[in-house]
A and B are shown apart, each in its own frame.
Chain A
Amino acid sequence: MSATATTQYSSYRNKVARSRATSEPVWIRYLLTTIALTFLTLFLFVPLAAVFTEALRKGFDTYITALVDPDALSAIKLTFIAALIAVPLNLVFGVAAAWAITKFEFKGKSILITLIDLPFAVSPVIAGLIYVLIFGIQGWFGSALVDNDIKVIFAIPGIVLATIFVTFPFVARELIPLMQAQGKDEEEAGLVLGASGWQILWRITLPNVKWGLLYGVILTNARAMGEFGAVSVVSGHIRGMTNTLPLHVEILYNEYNYAAAFAVASLLALLALVTLALKTFIEWQVARNAIQHESA
Chain B
Amino acid sequence: MAKQKNILPGFNLSLGFTIFYLSLIVLIPLSAAFIKTTELSMPEFWEVITAPRVVASYKLTFGASLVGALINAVFGLLTAWVLVRYKFPGKKLIDAIVDLPFALPTAVAGIALTAVYSANGWIGAWLEPLGIKVAFTPIGVIVALTFIGLPFVVRTVQPVLEDLEAETEEAAASLGANRWQTFVKIIFPAIGPALLTGFALAFARAIGEYGSVIFIAGNMPMVSEITPLIIITKLEQYDYAGATAVAVVMLVISFVLLFAINGLQWWSNRQRTAAN
| Residues in A neighbouring B83, C-beta threshold 8 A | 36
| Residues in A neighbouring B276, C-beta threshold 8 A | none
Contact between chains at B250 and A228 (CB < 8 Å): no
Contact between chains at A129 and B18 (CB < 8 Å): no
Listed stretches A60-68, A100-108, A143-151, A285-293; interface member? A100-108
Contact between chains at B103 and A272 (CB < 8 Å): yes
Cβ < 8 Å to B, chain A residues 229-276:
229, 232-233, 245-247, 249-250, 253, 258, 261-262, 265, 268-269, 271-273, 275-276
What is the bound-complex CA distance between A275 and B97, given in angstroms? 11
B275 interface residue, CB < 8 Å from A?
no
Contact between chains at B26 and A168 (CB < 8 Å): yes
B108 interface residue, CB < 8 Å from A?
yes
Contact between chains at A126 and B106 (CB < 8 Å): no
Contact between chains at B166 and A43 (CB < 8 Å): no
A249 with B18, Cβ < 8 A, contacts A104-B8, A114-B258, A277-B96 known: no
What is the bound-complex CA distance between A115 and B2, given in angstroms? 31
A9 interface residue, CB < 8 Å from B?
no
Distance in angstroms from B173 CB to nearest chain A CB is: 3
Cβ < 8 Å to A, chain B residues 101-125:
101-109, 111-113, 115-116, 121-123
- Identify the closest chain B residue to A266 (Cβ): B108
Contact between chains at B107 and A250 (CB < 8 Å): yes
Q: List 7 A-B contacts (CB under 8 A).
A: A36-B81, A50-B121, A96-B13, A115-B22, A126-B247, A249-B108, A276-B100
Interface residues of A (CB under 8 A from B): 18, 21-24, 29, 32-33, 35-37, 39-40, 42-48, 50-51, 54, 89, 92-93, 96-97, 99-101, 103-106, 112, 114-126, 129-134, 136, 138-140, 161, 164-165, 168, 184, 187-188, 191, 196-197, 200-201, 219, 222, 225-229, 232-233, 245-247, 249-250, 253, 258, 261-262, 265, 268-269, 271-273, 275-277, 279-280
Extra A-B contacts (9), CB below 8 Å, given A54-B112, A105-B6, A129-B231: A21-B170, A29-B86, A32-B82, A50-B122, A101-B18, A133-B36, A191-B7, A272-B100, A276-B103
Interface residues of B (CB under 8 A from A): 6-11, 13-15, 17-19, 21-22, 25-30, 32-33, 36, 75, 78-79, 81-83, 85-86, 88, 92, 94, 96-109, 111-113, 115-116, 121-123, 143, 146-147, 150, 166, 169-170, 173-174, 179, 182, 204, 207-211, 215, 228-229, 231-232, 235, 238, 240, 243-244, 247, 250-251, 254-255, 257-259, 262
